[in-house]
Amino acid sequence: MDSDISLQSRIIHIKAPSRDAATDSGAIEATVKEILAAVAARGDAAVRDYSRRFDAADLDRLEVSPEEREAAVAALDPQTRADTQFAIDNVTAFAKAQLGTILPLEVQILPGVHLGHRVIPIERVGAYVPGGRYPLLSAPVMTIVPARVAGVREVIACLPPNAHPAMIAGCHMAGADRIFRVGGAQAIAAMAHGTETIPKVDKIVGPGNAYVNEAKRQVFGPVGIDQLAGPSEIYTLADETGDARMIATDLLAQAEHDVRTRVGLITTDRALAEAVLAEIERQLPDLPTGEVAGAAWRDYGEIALVPDEETMIACSDQIAAEHLQVHTKDAQGLALKLSSYGSLFIGENASVVYSDKCIGTNHTLPTMAAARYTGGLWVGAYVKVCTYQWIEDAALATIAMPAIRQSASEGLEGHRRAAAFRLERN
């Protein structure tokens, strides 16, 4: 606590946020609890009821047919289809490279005592694909493609019934086995519990709104989840070499996601801080998505002036931003000193938008300071690294005697007998 107070005393806010995204989530827990219970009890009927209530969608059939999937792909603009495939190819290549680092293992920890682990794909994964304000074709790519690379047997995709038809095409191209027109907390409930139509999954991945996030929190345990993701975030670290126009453009680009997006600049240069503030105000009036971006900037925007690089690093690691850009004269050097971020964008050429869309790294990332303890969604989230052991006869005494003595000292006679039995039989 003292260190936090000391850090805050070294920060001057050129522009401070007026709201706190961490506590500004609304009272949704009870509503989600009701939805989960109803879907668990009534299955498809409850899913349809909530789809009518929340999405104004009255669907006879929840699953998208093969013909509809093919039609959605055929309806894509050729360039959009090519760009989507470009993103799929890059995400696939990077996921394959990552998977190559997760290797099976077997070692002899002692003579005759063999320990190891296997890398096992999850059987069935549910990918929640948000409809959002825009048809984000990158969303299904980021959640479905790594599952396919990991070897997941079946990938289920759920997206809101009013999502843009191009989103169905994105799910199909990314490799979803089945696609359902179900959104919100009811989709999470259906995938967690299973219904007459929607199969129960082993793990649920993908971002969503506050209701989706709360539903993932409540179902966690019987099913796995990737993470609890709040509103999007972007912070830029910059010194006097920073480009005010570029930084302002990047902050507003992320701010147009949602009115609750958290955007910020941490800089050692007052002139840059003031120039970025002025540049944002200049750009907002002619930004077509300015109503959303402007609300996010007004409520959650931040420009922090700090005295030195050490304070910049401490402040950044405390915030642990989802997207963290480094715009300093030695961006590579500073990057090595940072430890808490969802994904790092080193140097001015590395824009968040490239990762959001097509460069190959995953855009499903930790928010609300979760980057202090976890990274983003990756191919490793779709496999289980499971240990095993086997022991040669000649090595039994090496392991059995310590286990016998420990069990006896702990008063666990059943354990002692189990350890001794094999030794005695051998």
Give the pLDDT confidence score for residue 5 in this predicted structure: 72
CATH class for domain 2-21+240-360?
Answer: alpha beta
Phi and psi, residue 115, nearest 5°: -120, 150
Confidence grade of residue 1 (pLDDT, cut at 50, 70, 90):
very low
Confidence grade of residue 25 (pLDDT, cut at 50, 70, 90):
low
355 pLDDT higher than 50? yes
pLDDT by residue (tens digit) across 110-158? Answer: 999 999 999 999 999 999 999 866 678 899 999 999 999 999 999 999 9
Where are the chain's structural domains?
2-21+240-360, 29-98+125-229, 392-425
**Both structure tokens of 392:** 């040669």
In the chain, % of residues over pLDDT 90: 90
Q: Are 171 and 387 in contact (CB under 8 A)?
A: no
59 pLDDT higher than 90? no
- Closest to 163 in 3D by CA, of 190, 181, 147: 181
Q: What are the catalytic residues?
A: 322-323
Measured distance CA(335)–CA(309) in Å, rounded? 12
**DSSP run (H or E) holding 387:** strand 383-391
Identical topology for domains 2-21+240-360 and 29-98+125-229: yes
Count Cα atoms within 13 angstroms, Cβ side, for 411.
0
For the chain, give the mean pLDDT: 95
Fold classification of 29-98+125-229 is Rossmann fold (3.40.50)
Handedness of CA 351, 354, 356, 361 (dihedral sign): negative
Measured distance CA(48)–CA(186) in Å, rounded? 9
Confidence grade of residue 22 (pLDDT, cut at 50, 70, 90):
low
Q: 238 pairs with which residues across the strands?
A: 267, 327
- Closest to 267 in 3D by CA, of 212, 358, 191, 334: 334
Q: Which residues contact 273 (CB under 8 A, 6 or more apart)?
A: 14, 265, 267, 303, 305
pLDDT by residue (tens digit) across 320-336? Answer: 999 999 999 999 999 99
Q: What is the pTM of this model?
A: 0.92
Confidence grade of residue 24 (pLDDT, cut at 50, 70, 90):
low
pLDDT by residue (tens digit) across 389-421? Answer: 999 999 999 999 999 999 999 999 999 999 999
Amino acid identity, position 113:
V
**DSSP run (H or E) holding 343:** strand 343-346
**Both structure tokens of 38:** 């109803």
Per-residue pLDDT averaged across 169-194, rounded?
98
Per-residue pLDDT averaged across 80-87, rounded?
96
Q: Are 247 and 275 in contact (CB under 8 A)?
A: no
